[in-house]
Amino acid sequence: MDGVGGLRAIIAGASSGVGRAVALRLVKAGADVLLVGRDADRLKELQYAAGGGDVLATDLSLPDGAERLMAALGDRPVELLVSTVAVAPLAFLATTTRAQWENALTTNVIGTASLLQAVVPRMAPAGLLAVVSSESVGQHRTGLGAYAASKAALEDMMGTWRTEHPGLRFTTVALGGTMPTAFSQGFAPEVAAVAVNDWASRGHIQEQLMHTDDVADVLTGVLVSLIGAPGVGVPRIELASPSAVAGTTAHLRKVEQPVTRT
């Protein structure tokens, strides 16, 4: 991967999923990467697998999380920030608890705001800050009301950061269904069954999900190419599976080809 050697990057949410996969690629390509996440053991395993990177185990949703990050950064400018930090409670709105709302908003919105407050003053000119959102924003998916609302707030916040800090490049990555990730960990099976069936009936789920490694390859490649083109900003990136919406083309695949006789 060209243009990565010496690049200073922060990957928040590096302990699992897309964040881990992006961090692995950047470290192996020669970037100077700060691996940020809540799980120290997973971060150390990533550090070993990648063959480098600095580890910072901290919870950015807590008041001291951003302070610990600022202390770890020092004075050297940062060229790239990628944040995949998120929690996704799966619950119908009528039964979503206050604790679930607070966890989603504190982690997905306030935690990201604190992360950006810590990193923006340390960004290099024309630096790039990419934050992962979700395709569920605006889809009104059953069971994901609190999660989607928090991501909608996140996206609006990113637009305001862009307005208030011209010259820096703020990118929102709307990510479609991807596996394996930690997204569905903790989903109650009985709620998930109802929710997934409803998503399918409304055309909100595709027959095949994207693979985490493929997403990381594309996302890392795009972001690194943008680092090399400081005059180009990409406010929004959308990554989604190209497969059909679940159930919509089954009849086409079952059509038999006519037999030609000679």
Q: Give catalytic residues, as residue numbers.
A: 147
Please name the amino acid found at residue 158.
M
CA atoms within 13 A on the CB side of 110: 13
Strands 123-134 and 169-175: parallel
Cβ contact 17:182 at 8 Å = yes
Determine the angle formed by the axes of helices 111-119 and 65-73, rounding to 10 degrees.
20
Rounded to whole angstroms, the Cα distance separating 100 from 127 reads: 34
Other beta carbons within 10 angstroms of residue 191's beta carbon come to: 16
H/E stretch holding 117? helix 111-119
